[in-house]
Amino acid sequence: MSLVTAGNGLWYFRDRDYINHIYEIEELRYGSKNGQISINKTLGSVKTLASINKRNRGVISRALQEIQPNAVISDSVYIFGLPTSRNIPWIALNNTDMVYQAFNYYPSKPLSIWPQFYCIEMIDYLFHKLGPDVVISPCIDLSIPLSHKKFHRVEPIVRQGFEQRLKRKEKSRVVIMLSGSRFGSPVRLSNSEYPFQLDIIGRPAPTDWKVNEVIHYHGKVQDSLQLLRNADLAVVNGGFSAVSEVVCMGIPAVVVPVLRHAEQWVNAKSVDRLGIGTMAEESFIESAMLAAWDRLDDFNQSFDNLELQGRGAQQSADIIESVVS
């Protein structure tokens, strides 16, 4: 397998023995203001984003020429025509169909997410409706209907080992695992003692930190599986990958959507609506974590009624195989 990726993808996939070759492309980033997503800044950088996309198109074109693949599977790549112009099946992994449907399906949407939805998520949705041959659309809330026959709903796709629900007899640990992107929520703790052990992934300990027996900082790690295996509650941002992993493992979650981000709000709302966790603003992470700890029995009961069985990867593989053959 060959891979075209950027940013954290380069960091995660380096030295993986199942990757034959990695082609590096540039990231397409949101514009920001005061550390938060800014749609105005994003729209103002369209010329820069177009230049990046042009350079990325050249890298992908070279990769297709050198590899001669039987199929292309893309995730957040926005370049029309390259695979199909070479008669290569193009299969996309993308959940904007779910975001598009859920945005209209869920009530009480905050006004702050509307600009990002209409300027980013809608464009993303239309691109995938028009571009790829097939779109695999993973979803946590399986009651959300499909919008078009091109989209195929599957359960969440997670890394091996994250697809099995774990049941723990004793409640003892919480994991805070917030996004490593520049919009990831900060971790600000006012206490040094909690009724549980606390593991913090993805954040270094503060420079003035005094080591204690309750709070453990782990920094940026590639394999968070063992830490999550020991968790009774997880605090995560609303990125779909992180939310999918804790849900498939059966870990109740406090989901903290990045401000002004429609997809992250939808993911958090899905967890809250299914009763397997709650959503919180980043300024109230600590209080939300403590409140959720007291509701673990309710969340775990809701997990017992959840239909997800960790089959997303197999369902996706079956779709890919049917398209290629």
Q: Which two tokens stand for residue 51?
A: 């230049």
pLDDT by position in tens, the chain (length 325): 899 999 888 988 888 899 999 999 999 888 877 777 788 888 888 899 889 999 999 999 999 999 999 999 999 888 878 888 889 999 999 999 999 999 988 988 999 999 999 999 999 999 999 999 999 999 999 889 999 999 999 999 999 889 887 777 788 999 999 886 666 677 888 888 899 999 999 888 888 888 888 999 998 888 899 999 999 999 999 999 999 999 999 999 999 999 999 999 999 999 999 999 999 998 899 999 999 999 999 999 999 999 888 899 999 999 999 999 8
Alpha helices (runs of H) in 33-158, residue ranges in sequence order:
39-44, 46-67, 82-85, 96-105, 114-116, 122-130
Q: What are the backbone dihedrals phi and psi of residue 8, each rounded to the nearest 5 degrees, phi first?
A: -65, -25
Amino acid letter for position 262 = A
**Separation of alpha carbons 107 and 201, rounded Å:** 33
Taking CA atoms, 283 is separated from 26, 189, 257, 289, in Å, by 32, 10, 11, 12
Pick the closest to residue 152 from 324, 312, 11, 35 (CA basis): 312
Q: For residue 227, which phi and psi values (nearest 5 degrees)?
A: -65, -40
| Residues counted in the chain | 325
- State phi, psi for 187 to the nearest 5 degrees: -105, 110
